Structure 1
Amino acid sequence: MTSDDNRAAAVRPPARTQPVVARRALRDGVYDAILEKLLDGSTPPGSSLGIDPLARELEVSPTPVREALVQLEHTGLVSRVALKGYRVAEPMTDEQLAELFDMRSVLETAAVERAAANADDLVPELRVAHAQHVLCAHRVRKLRGPGEESGAGPGDFADLREYFAADWEFHRTIIRAAGNRFLLQSADSLSAHVHRLRQTADRGTIDIDQAVDEHAAILAAFESGDPEQPKIAMREHLAAVAGRSRAGG
């Protein structure tokens, strides 16, 4: 080996045994899998989240599980108790519930105000999001018979997942149209709490009809061209959702 070869070898970075991207993808996949368990009702509030049992269940090493739980602790969905490990967070208190909806009102009203300036581009996208929400609501009603709409259990949540996602996407479409990445990031950080609230409040889908109607009112407000009407419609919707959550919690 020449001196030039030696110098090249000295500055060459060491070979990686595992790509950084693959490691990140694994961690994110584990995070999503555990988050799903938190949202589908299979891990009730207060239940233990052991690192080793989760690693065996997900067929991964303990390291990405530990990393995912640390991330989830920052969301408030998981808490770490000294000498006891991680547990599913308890349901929100009345005070926390009030703060969540206060934050949503502040954030989403600000987003609506900014999105109204882009109504011409937003309205077609919002119509699509609303149509998807209506379709998902129809599917849930069709799958569930009379008296089954308020169920909330691990098996029940599966057919609601698509509906919940469509409901949130309607709101997210408006927030994206505000054109502020930090508003969108803040909204996304709240989304897990919003979905968790739906499961722990034990009210299932009893507000499907109300939510669909209120979203229709928000869409109509944007279609009206009056910049004040969307703000009013969004405030009324969030206040109604908060009232239904307190009634069902």
Structure 2
Amino acid sequence: MGEVQVRPQRQTLADKTYDELNSRIMQSVLPPGAKLSIDGLARQMAISQTPLREALARLEAEGLVERRPLSGYSVTPLLTTEEFNDLFDLRLLMEPLAASRAAERVANPHNMVGDGKALRALARTPEYHSDAKLSQLAFTEADAKFHASVAKCSGSPVLAKAIRRLDAHLHLHRAYMEPESISETEAEHLAVAEAIIAQQPLAAEAAMRRHLKRSRVRHAAAFTAAEADAAPNPKRAKANR
């Protein structure tokens, strides 16, 4: 763990299709709840349905799209207020545990999770870009990678998978985070990383819990903004047809 996963230089068409669809979802070009026409997307992207279906299956596994019998694919809708609260309650149960276990694994010479440099690098957020949408997208990706990496550090594939699935539902909300929230997030991530590197399970658990409680407040404001922006817009919903 603590290692940044690097894709092969030569991406497959399915990889490129996934990246493109993921970007469209993150930037709300494909808004929450939008129905995805496989025929329409294939024509628009000038590709066959095979790589498109592979990319959609991957996005489904990450919780960014849904597939329903007889209905096809659609972008996962925004969480309801109740779902939002449940999600953070679950994160507060699982992620402090993952951070604690990660610190324990660092202390085990037979189960090292990587050096501190890699984990600190993942904790840092990208520099703010002049293009706000690109900055938000970069922040979303960096934040998700850090939490996924700490979860992977726990040594529990089941825990890591559950955390990754929960985290996917927050992608769209992160796009509405204020710039100052990004620097706050970085400081909190670094506190978690330093506790893990220092092999202090209790400190790592406490730092992750503090981060999630503060994150809940920030996300609540972003959640409200995302809800308002996701109000029905027939023209935008048909953008993928």
Normalising by structure 2, what TM-score? 0.70
Verify: 1:113 aligned to 2:89, yes or no.
no
- Alignment partner for residue 219 of structure 1, among 174, 193, 201? 193
> Residues 119 and 193 of structure 2 are in contact (CA less than 8 Å); yes or no, is this contact kept in structure 1?
no
C-alpha separation in 2, matches of 1:53 and 1:99: 35
Verify: 1:134 aligned to 2:124, yes or no.
yes
> Residues 125 and 142 of structure 2 are in contact (CA less than 8 Å); yes or no, is this contact kept in structure 1?
no
Quote the offset at 1:59 in angstroms.
1.8
Q: Which structure has the greater CA radius of gyration?
A: 1
What SS does the aligned partner of 2:170 have?
A: helix
Verify: 1:238 aligned to 2:176, yes or no.
no
Alignment of 1:1-249 (within 5 A): 25-66=12-53, 68-69=55-56, 72-73=59-60, 75-79=62-66, 85-120=72-107, 121-122=112-113, 124-125=115-116, 127-131=117-121, 133-134=123-124, 136=126, 139-140=127-128, 143-144=129-130, 156-199=132-175, 202-222=176-196, 225-249=199-223
Report sequence identity in percent.
Answer: 32
Q: Which amino acid aligns with 2:217?
A: G
Q: Which amino acid aligns with 2:155?
A: G
Choose between structure 1 and 2: higher helix proportion: 1
Q: Which amino acid aligns with 1:172?
A: A
C-alpha separation in 2, matches of 1:122 and 1:85: 40
Quote the offset at 1:192 in angstroms.
2.8
Quote the offset at 1:67 in angstroms.
5.1
Tell me how many residue pairs correspond in the alignment: 208
Cα distance change, pair 96–84 in 1 and its aligned pair in 2 (3 A): same
> Residues 49 and 86 of structure 1 are in contact (CA less than 8 Å); yes or no, is this contact kept in structure 2?
yes
What SS does the aligned partner of 1:207 have?
A: helix
If asked which structure has higher relative contact order (CA below 8 Å, sep 6+), I would say: 2
> Residues 123 and 219 of structure 1 are in contact (CA less than 8 Å); yes or no, is this contact kept in structure 2?
no
C-alpha separation in 2, matches of 1:35 and 1:171: 18
> Residues 88 and 216 of structure 2 are in contact (CA less than 8 Å); yes or no, is this contact kept in structure 1?
yes
> Residues 41 and 157 of structure 1 are in contact (CA less than 8 Å); yes or no, is this contact kept in structure 2?
no
C-alpha separation in 1, matches of 2:66 and 2:106: 41
Give the CA RMSD over aligned residues. 3.0
C-alpha separation in 2, matches of 1:210 and 1:187: 21
Unaligned runs of 5+ in 2: 1-11, 224-241
> Residues 103 and 195 of structure 2 are in contact (CA less than 8 Å); yes or no, is this contact kept in structure 1?
no
Q: Which amino acid aligns with 1:134?
A: R
C-alpha separation in 2, matches of 1:96 and 1:64: 32
C-alpha separation in 1, matches of 2:73 and 2:180: 32
